[in-house]
Amino acid sequence: MKTFAIVAAFLASSISGVAAECWAGPPVWDVPSTPNRARSDIIRACMGYDGHGGAFSGGFVPGEMKYACIQTGPDRKIELRVQNQNVNFGYDLDDIDCVYNLFEEVRNCAQGGHHEGFLCASPAYGNC
């Protein structure tokens, strides 16, 4: 149990402040409404709403990826992904770290982006 706590603490602390790597090419976030809409959707995906857990709430087993898709308009969506890249240990991503880091992709990257591949947010064409 001590090993799990150390690994979980390391993973949670290591994602804060990690620079976003932005993607190039369309589509771009719908400005100006998307950043505020995306923040609300990210909060719901990370923290849950109305007594329901969010898509990224709870623990991640080793290697698990969780996905959320939010329809933002006709043929437009936001895709969010969080992955535990550790194949040996599970962990529970702190809700606040989840919100902060996913929203960094919206705030800093016009076409979306990721934190070292394990936290991704991007605008996309199509339907969920």
Number of domains present in the structure of the chain: 1
The range of the structural domain enclosing residue 100 comes to 2-125
CA–CA separation, 128 vs 124, rounded Å?
Answer: 10
The pLDDT mean for the chain works out to 80
Say which residue, 5 or 60, is predicted with more confidence: 60
User: Residues 66-122: pLDDT tens digits?
Assistant: 999 998 888 889 999 999 999 999 989 899 999 998 988 888 888 888 887 788 998
Phi then psi dihedrals of residue 84, to 5 deg: -85, 110
Residues 6+ apart with CB under 8 A from 117: 83, 85
